[in-house]
């Protein structure tokens, strides 16, 4: 069978990933993934905003490093996009990033629940103790709904990211999840299954099955991402991810090229294996 493309992968330009795009592409080829895509953490208007993304002046080098992987590994289709942080007020900046290059897709992610709290940052996890978890989730979801509503993004990244350290969302937030999926559907924005959650304290992919079922029921398209920050993470847990998608009701996977989507069937992985030897 043909595996879904892995559309969420990083490069050393973000300063917390290891291995060149070439190494990720070779790993994909070894696994039998026919299509992958890079989504490096996009620059902010100020390069000192934080220390875990590329600088604006790195964009050329980023595209060149992906092109080098394409030239060296012609058997794998390699897309190039960005993982863009959405914060209110960044709209003009995001438009500028979008226009900078003919990207294949933009992943919109909310990491910042306020101007200075990145919800997935291990060094800031103590901040949960000083807050009502429902209000943290509410602030996060309101930002993500706003991100979806901008129409700037092709994919929403790891939609239940605040569960990373184990703070699961309360049932009372259900209307906001439905609002998120309705907004995504209207904006033509997909969700991703992001397998990185399995490598985090929450020990579960993003998003949880119940959310994925509702997204599928509401007609939101689906992509897949490992959020690889090292070559050996490419395509990590792919059979499980496909099984989760199918359990949620998905039978199609979205593919993106120059920000135009097409769908292909999402086949049952039960009968196939993936060579996961290092
Ligand atoms: Zn990262
Ligand atoms: Fe992210
Ligand atoms: Fe990422
Ligand atoms: Zn990510």
Residues near ion ligand 3 (CB < 5 Å) are 83, 227
Q: How close is the Cα of 83 to the center of ligand 2, in Å? A: 7
Q: How close is the Cα of 107 to the center of ligand 4, in Å? A: 9
What is the C-alpha R_g of the chain?
Answer: 17
Q: How close is the Cα of 272 to the center of ligand 1, in Å? A: 30
Q: How close is the Cα of 54 to the center of ligand 1, in Å? A: 10
Enumerate residues 6+ apart whose C-beta is below 8 A from 74. Answer: none
Q: How close is the Cα of 17 to the center of ligand 1, in Å? A: 7
pLDDT of residue 35: 98
Q: CA-CA distance, 134 to 112, in Å (whole number)?
A: 16
Q: How close is the Cα of 14 to the center of ligand 3, in Å? A: 10
Task: Give the number of other CB atoms < 10 A from CB of residue 7.
Answer: 30
What's the DSSP call for residue 6? B
Q: How close is the Cα of 229 to the center of ligand 1, in Å? A: 7
pLDDT of residue 275: 64
8 A C-beta contact, residue 227 and residue 217 = no
Q: How close is the Cα of 166 to the center of ligand 3, in Å? A: 19
Q: CA-CA distance, 24 to 36, in Å (whole number)?
A: 9
Ligand nearest to the CA of 14: 1
Sketch out the chain's domains with CATH numbers: 12-271 (3.20.20.140)
Q: How close is the Cα of 217 to the center of ligand 1, in Å? A: 30
Which phi and psi (to 5°) does residue 45 adopt? -60, -35
pLDDT of residue 1: 67
Task: Give the number of other CB atoms < 10 A from CB of residue 213.
Answer: 15
Q: How close is the Cα of 72 to the center of ligand 4, in Å? A: 26
Ligand nearest to the CA of 39: 3
pLDDT tens across the length of the chain (278 residues):
699 999 999 999 999 999 999 999 999 999 999 999 999 999 999 999 999 999 999 999 999 999 999 999 999 999 999 999 999 999 999 999 999 999 999 999 999 999 999 999 999 999 999 999 999 999 999 999 999 999 999 999 999 999 999 999 999 999 999 999 999 999 999 999 999 999 999 999 999 999 999 999 999 999 999 999 999 999 999 999 999 999 999 999 999 999 999 999 998 876 566 766 55
- Render 79-92 in DSSP notation, one character per residue: EEEEEEEP-TT-HH
User: What is this structure's pTM?
Assistant: 0.96
pLDDT of residue 273: 65
| Distances, alpha carbon 229 to alpha carbons 18, 20, 23, 34, 58, in Å | 6, 10, 11, 19, 17
């Amino acid at each position: 069978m043909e595996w879904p493309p892995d559309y969420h992968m990083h490069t050393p330009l973000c300063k917390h990933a290891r291995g060149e795009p070439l190494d990720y592409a070779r790993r994909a080829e070894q696994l039998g993934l026919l299509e992958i895509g890079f989504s490096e953490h996009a620059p902010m208007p100020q390069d000192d905003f934080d220390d875990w993304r590329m600088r604006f002046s790195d964009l050329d080098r980023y595209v060149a490093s992906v092109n080098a992987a394409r030239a060296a590994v012609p058997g794998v289709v390699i897309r190039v996009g960005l993982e863009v942080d959405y914060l209110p007020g960044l709209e003009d900046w995001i438009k500028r990033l979008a226009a900078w290059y003919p990207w294949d897709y933009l992943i919109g992610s909310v990491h910042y629940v306020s101007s200075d709290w990145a919800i997935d940052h291990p060094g800031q996890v103590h901040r949960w103790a000083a807050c009502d978890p429902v209000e943290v989730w509410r602030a996060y979801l309101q930002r993500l709904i706003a991100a979806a509503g901008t129409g700037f993004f092709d994919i929403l990244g790891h939609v239940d990211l605040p569960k990373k350290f184990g703070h699961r969302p309360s049932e009372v937030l259900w209307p906001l999840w439905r609002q998120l999926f309705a907004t995504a559907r209207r904006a033509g924005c997909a969700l991703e299954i992001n397998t990185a959650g399995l490598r985090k304290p929450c020990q579960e992919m993003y998003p949880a099955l119940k959310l994925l079922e509702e997204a599928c029921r509401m007609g939101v398209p689906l992509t897949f991402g490992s959020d690889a920050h090292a070559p050996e993470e490419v395509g990590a847990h792919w059979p499980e991810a496909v099984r989760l998608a199918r359990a949620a009701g998905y039978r199609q996977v979205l593919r993106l090229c120059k920000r135009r989507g097409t769908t292909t069937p999402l086949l049952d992985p039960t009968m196939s294996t993936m060579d996961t030897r290092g």
